[in-house]
Chains A and B, each alone.
Chain A
Amino acid sequence: MIRLPLLSTVIKNLFKKPATNPFPKTEPVPVPENFRGKIVYNVDKCVGCRMCVTVCPAGVFVYLPEIRKVALWTGRCVFCKQCVDVCPTNALQMSDEFLLASYDKYDSKFIYVTPEEAEEIKKKQEELKKAKAQAKAKKDQ
């Protein structure tokens, strides 16, 4: 005797609505709280303590000694959130963003602090230093 235990379920299913989310036509399934999406880096808050470089298992960070900041390539990130937990100034945050497909692995959305931006930051820092030095010199006079 053949038993077909699925038969009744399957026939019932035929008259139910599909239990799927037709994504491009609708919003994706909402993310939960504390979802670990793409890293967001705030250059201005970073003090260059290098904690993130130490703790990251995937080698996302490169320390830039001249400007005392870090550069990121999140293409390698494994979303473990260790850098966020360890950063003393909250310069690193996790966002909700998870639709990260790209044609190019060096897409600008994966990179924070490109060499050009590093140059600019360097210039700004130097100007700031000069201004400070001048201010000091004025004071001393």
Chain B
Amino acid sequence: MKQQGLESKLSACSLEEADKCLFEYLHAEIVNYVLATTSDNKDGEEELSRLEWMGFSVGYRIIERLTKEWARFKEELDMIKFICTDFWTCLYHKQIDNLRTNHHGVYVLHDNEFRLLANIGANGSQQYLRESPRLLAFTCGLLRGSLANLGIVSTVKAEVSALPSCKFNVQVQRI
């Protein structure tokens, strides 16, 4: 009986914990693995395109599952809004804080407390600013992949000026 009580208590707190952590730890290891297997290019910058590509395929697949209950989107802005709200909540347990657009295919998604950066620095700490782009490459690919499956060809760039907030620049490519 006592054993059972302990078990249920454990599972209640650890299920949620595992749910939240598993992705974070796995993501960290993927980043390490990719950085260790690819050599830096000649500018001394880290080679993150493989990471971005992984994100792309994950995003491409995830969108199939997430949109199964949704009606077709009318226009581009609706898709971006879906990404900012439902998609982001599903993956990072919060919504994008700010969305800006110039109505000509450029969208800026602003997250004030991005989950993968939240444990690294706060209040505009400068300490890990140089290393933080490697934690964003996967998410850039994720955005690009999900948009690609919705029919938007784009390039996505991330920008960090003060941890833990970051901006994702989505540039839609018109043909």
A and B, one complex?
no
B interface residues (Cβ-Cβ under 8 A, vs A): none
A interface residues (Cβ-Cβ under 8 A, vs B): none
